[in-house]
Structure 1
Amino acid sequence: MELRIPTLEQLRTVYDRDLRTAFPAAELKPLKNMEEMWAEGRYRPWCLFDGDDIAGEAFLWLGHPGWALLDYLCVAADRRNGGLGSVILEKLREAERGNVIFGESEIPCYAPDPAMAERRLGFYARNGARTAGYDTEMFGVPYKTLYWAEGKVDESALMEEHRFIYASTFAPDKFRRYVRIPFDPNGTPGERVSWQQ
């Protein structure tokens, strides 16, 4: 199996086949946005190829050089529960060596399915993710912040890069309204709204 960048047509295929079925519509970026960001050099879609078949994906939202947000990690429905999520993360870390990759995973107590959110956090921990000292809230969904790095990471720099990803993409009013980095763990999350809001 090989992790590589897909063609535009392959990206469109896995978006419809995998991402639409695996992620709630409110949490899924429109394909048009992904395509535009990719064309601008701000997005990198990696796909795990098994011959000509795509078994799963890991999409990175790029920030300043050396920093990337793991936007989506997905295994094709017919290939799940076979360890491919771990394979994708391992190959992604090899392909992105030298970069700090960070991500978000729902905080169980706020999740519609707390047990699934716990399992997801456990999966990331087993695959080398460290938990940052701050949480986030995006569009009313509170998340734990996770990251992978070869060495020590200054968490204030991590938080700044995390903010940069969203602030450089959304209009200032949208950023202020829907993005909280950090999220106050004693605060109340905002209303859950679609990413497209």
Structure 2
Amino acid sequence: MLFTAMNELDNTLWPLARKLYEQSFPKEGRKPDAIINGMFRKMPCFLHTLSDMDKVEAMAISGLTGGGKILLIDYIAVPGRRRGQGIGSQLLEAIAEWAQKVMLLDGLLIEVESEHTATNERRIRFWERNGFTITDYEHPYIWVPEPYRAMYKQLSQENAWLGDGSGKKLFRYITSFHEKAYSKK
């Protein structure tokens, strides 16, 4: 499969990736098109895909945070028919390699729902299998009812960007990313 990482929403891959994004996340759980388009215009964001011929088999949207040294994976999606086949892990492996070798980043960061449900526990195990570590801190958002926790994967041992691995510190990076994404500027 072909891995791509683009810092713009092109007319070839984005419509295919967008279709997968919309199928994978309910309307209330995804960013509207205007926000995503704005993110790519005003901040360093990336569309990552794994494609086979003309089919996008996995996609992710990410952006830089933490002084430009951390890649926050905002969304990742795999078609239902391909889940459980390792496609999501292949995409994460490609993103991590690209982030480390091409972008020279120090780490990857995500946020996960922290409510103890079977679905959330499955998602957390997926990230842990892919080298992510979960933090203890639960971050309450005012605009969504459930709390979230940060998970991280350190790519560079030279720069300890995590400090003490504090979830509270990591949520400053996550919050900064979301504030920029939703800002009117």
Length-normalised TM-score, structure 1: 0.75
Would you say the 8 A contact 1:107–1:144 is kept in 2? yes
Could you say if the C-alpha distance between residues 101 and 143 of structure 1 is closer, same or farther in structure 2, counting changes exceeding 3 Å? Answer: same
Would you say the 8 A contact 2:61–2:76 is kept in 1? yes
2:114 alignment counterpart: 107
Kindly report which structure 2 residues correspond to 1:48-127, keeping only aligned pairs within 5 A, or say none: 48-63=50-65, 64-97=67-100, 98-109=105-116, 114-127=117-130
Q: 1:38 offset after TM fit, Å? A: 1.3
Q: 1:77 offset after TM fit, Å? A: 2.8
Q: Which of 129, 134, 151 matches 2:132? A: 129
Q: Which secondary structure state, in structure 1, belongs to the residue aligned with residue 119 of structure 2?
A: helix
**Are 2:156 and 1:144 equivalent residues in the alignment?**
no
Q: Which secondary structure state, in structure 1, belongs to the residue aligned with residue 131 of structure 2?
A: coil
Q: Percent identity?
A: 23
**Are 2:178 and 1:166 equivalent residues in the alignment?**
yes
Q: How many equivalent residue pairs? A: 167
Question: Which AA in structure 2 matches 1:56?
Answer: A
C-alpha distance in structure 2 between counterparts of 1:26 and 1:39, whole Å? 23
Question: Which AA in structure 1 matches 2:93?
Answer: E
1:182 alignment counterpart: none
Q: Which secondary structure state, in structure 2, belongs to the residue aligned with residue 88 of structure 1?
A: helix
2:26 alignment counterpart: 24
Q: Which secondary structure state, in structure 2, belongs to the residue aligned with residue 134 of structure 1?
A: coil
- Runs of 5+ unmatched residues, structure 1: 173-197
C-alpha distance in structure 1 between counterparts of 2:41 and 2:180, whole Å? 16
Task: Render the CA deviation track for 1:122-162: whole Å, top value 9, x for unaligned.
Answer: 11111100112422234323112111112342135534322
Q: 1:171 offset after TM fit, Å? A: 5.1
Q: 1:79 offset after TM fit, Å? A: 2.0
CA RMSD of aligned residues (A): 2.2
C-alpha distance in structure 1 between counterparts of 2:30 and 2:52, whole Å? 25
Greater strand share, 1 or 2?
A: 1
